[in-house]
Every structure is written in structure tokens, then in C-alpha cells.
Structure 1
Amino acid sequence: MVKALDALALLGEHPDGVTAAQMARKTSHPFSTCYRLLNTLVSTGFARYDAQDKRYHLGLRVFQLAHTVAAPQGFESSAVPVLQRLTERTRESSVLHVPDGDRALTVRTEGGPQFRATTDPGDRAALHSTASGKILLALSEPAASEQLLRDIELEPRTAHSLTDREELARQVATARERGWTSQSEENDLGMVAIAAPVLTPSGRLLGAVTLAAPLFRSTVAQLEEHVPALLDATRELGLVLPER
């Protein structure tokens, strides 16, 4: 347990990530021990492995457990003013999600003036039944997207949920082409949503922003009128959010 906590603390001290060999040198633990600890942390979501630079980084599970004490300049707080302006502009709830394996993790929710979203920070939503999930599938690395489209369970959340894998792939392709997507009552009865990706200037996927509304306030077509405002917000977030 102590060695695992040492590994987590070291990952927290190195936002650019560390290799197993670097961890072994810094902690004086055997390489085999560090390698095993790091991969255990990856398998449980407390760390993530970047195959491109072969480094380990803190995972989203750490955030999920501690989002209420996020650093003042951290990922969550950087998003707050942007989401607030989006909600003020559209008068609908706005939500920031980030990819978390085969789920979309809610990071921040800004409730609308008359109705709040049905998700809270720390919630993990299915990819196939949410607007945020579909746009995350669309803009993920091609290999990861293909694997998820092939392997995720298409469990119906409502009678409107997608359970046809070919139709899901078609909708994801359309979302990738136009840069946003929508859904109607696929995840929660009586709720509609649109979502767009948050990308860095280099095109790296950071997350997605959803605008959600109850059907008694808005149809999907009416909500889609807010796509320009949504895209303005995601472009701004792509500039101000720190890369995870």
C-alpha cells in the first residue's frame, strides 16, 4: 500500500509523466515492482499510460475522488467561467465531460436557470446513449474509437437508446464530419442534448461539452439552434484548459 501511494505521489509531482525506469530510480524500488505498481494503477483508473511517449500519468479516478478540492488553476476551475457564460447565453444546462475508458466522466455541471442537468461531477455515462459519448467516440484516436465501437456494450437505457452497432457507427461518423452531435431521450426519458468536442489547437481531444434540456422546454431541433454558442464555448475551452 505504501509503495502504491509513493507511486501516486510521484506521478502527481511529474505532470509530464514518468517511465517505470524513472520511477525505479526516484523511489529506489526494483524496476519490476514499479512496473507492476504502475500497471495496477492503470488497470484501476488511478493512472493512465501514454503509448506515444511511454510515460505514466495520473488517471481520472484520482480526479473523480477529489474533484471538490481541485486546484484553483486546475482543469475544473478553468472550465467554470466558460460553462457559466454558455449557460447564460443559452439558458440551458451545460456539462463538461472527459473520456474515461468506455465511459464519459462528468467533470463540471452548470445548471440552467430553470432546470439543471441530470448528471453530477463524478458520474460516468455510457458512450452509446449520450451526446457527449458519441462525440468522444467520434474524435478519439481512430484505433481507440474503432475498438470502442466494436466492444462497448449497447445496453439500452431507454426505449430510444441505440442498440444497433452499425447505426451507432454511422452516427459517430456523421458527428466526426460535422463536429457536433445530438440525442433525444436515449439516456434519460424527457431529456434532449447536443454535444461538441473540446480540442487543443493541435487537435488533441480533451473532452466534450453538452447542452441539455428537458423536452417540455426544448425539442432537439430547438436545442440545435444553440450549436454556434456551443462551438464558441468548446473552442475557448480548447485554449484555456490544461492538458491532462
Structure 2
Amino acid sequence: MAEQHAAGAEGIHPTNDPGTPGGSVDPQSGADSAAPTRRARRGGSRKSQKATGGWGAVREIAIVVVLALLIAFVAKTFLIRGYYIPSGSMEQTLELDDRIFVNVLGARTGHIDRGDIVVFDDTQGWLPEAPAARTNPVRQGLEFVGLLPDSSQQALVKRVIGVGGDHVTCCDASGKVSVNGKALDEPYLYPGAAPSDFPFDVTVPEGKFFVLGDHRNASADSRYHIETGTQFVSEQDVVGTAFVTAWPLDRFRFLHNPEDVFADVPAPARP
């Protein structure tokens, strides 16, 4: 390295060998004294490339991880979320431990209709208070980006029967639920389950939904909260509409709104 410093400080000196500019010839061996310098430079260059390559790999991995987290956060916030079914209230449409995906975008744009299966946050205390979950910064981060469910918020899944302005009653002479005077034939009901085991009569406020489970005698849905005045689900509490059962694989299927059930329901009477 002394030779490199000298050359840099004092300029390039002529040598005995015109074919080796910037170097000198050992008078005893005739070897080119610049060769070790060039080998040292090449060795240093290789070490530098290895170091740069290692840092580049780390940087690429970091970029991939950040992008993956960003995509997960955007998907969770604006597109889809995953949930599992913890009860039999929606049997047989959804069964215990089914994994479903929910369309978040549809809820945010206000496209929720009668017959949709919705997931909504339990802001009105329909569920018993859950025990405090153990958490840590890693879990909190994964919850934030949507890779784990939010342990601080409980959610429910039900089917929308009435929307804002609808008059929903049960039961007519045949024991069916009626919406705006039209009795519903509900093929999604759990086999043998009645449309309702007790009567009710409600008018849904604007911006709210009246929701029921498909397994009516195993679902603590809107009917059970009429007395407390918390029977309606707010639009703001709806996370999204369920559109696919993804797991287990033998139950994989897309969930469709049974529009024919509500096709003949008249528009709600407006005051």
C-alpha cells in the first residue's frame, strides 16, 4: 500500500521496463514489483464485491418483507379479511371452524343487500366479554397489518334480513318471516329449524340492519336484543360480506346471495 500512496502523492515515475508503467523492476529478480499491488487491488475488489453483495441481499429481503406487510395492510383495510366460525349459529351455510373470507370493499361502498352474510363488530355487547388476550409487540404488529385477527375486537356473522326502512315481522299464518308484507321462503335455514320460535315486529331505521342466523334456534341474533334496544346493526359496524368458505378444503365454495328469496319484497313504505 506504500507504493500506492507514493504513486498517488508524487505522480507516476518512469521504470526500467517500459511495459510496466507506474511500477519498477527488481534489479535482482527482474520481477515486476507492481504485480503484488495489482493482486492486492484485485483481492480488495473481490472482498468489496462480497461485502456489497451481502448487504444487497439483506436489503432486498428487507424490501420484500416491507412490501409484503404493506400489501397485507392494504388488503386487510380495503379488500379482504379472513375469519373462522366459532359457533353453529349459521349452520348449515357456515359450520363450526369454517374459515371464510370477507369482502371489505363492498361494505365500505355501501353495497349491502338483504340476503348478504355480513361480519360485524360487536359494539353493542351481544357477546359476553372475552377474557383479556395475551399480547406483545410482534402480535400487535401482525394484527395491525391483518396477518392475525384483532384480539381486542369481537365480531359476529349473520344474514341480513331487513335494511333501512324495512318492516320485518314474524310470524305469518304459515310461520314465516315477512319483510314489508312479503313472506319469505328461506332455503338456507337449518333443516327442521323454524323461521323463529317467537314473534317479533320491528321497523329498521335508516343506516341499520336487522340480522338473523340461518340456524334460528341456535342464534342469539337481532330478535334476542329487541327488549334492550340493541337489535339493529349499524352500517359503520359492518366489516364486510362473506363471499367464500376457504377451509376446510372439502367445504371450499363461494357464498352467493339468494336474491330470489327477496326478489318480490316490495320497497319499504316511506313516511
Higher relative contact order (CA 8 A, sep 6+): 2
Please classify the TM superposition score into its range, dividing by the shorter chain length. Answer: under 0.3
TM-score (norm 1): 0.24
TM-score (norm 2): 0.22
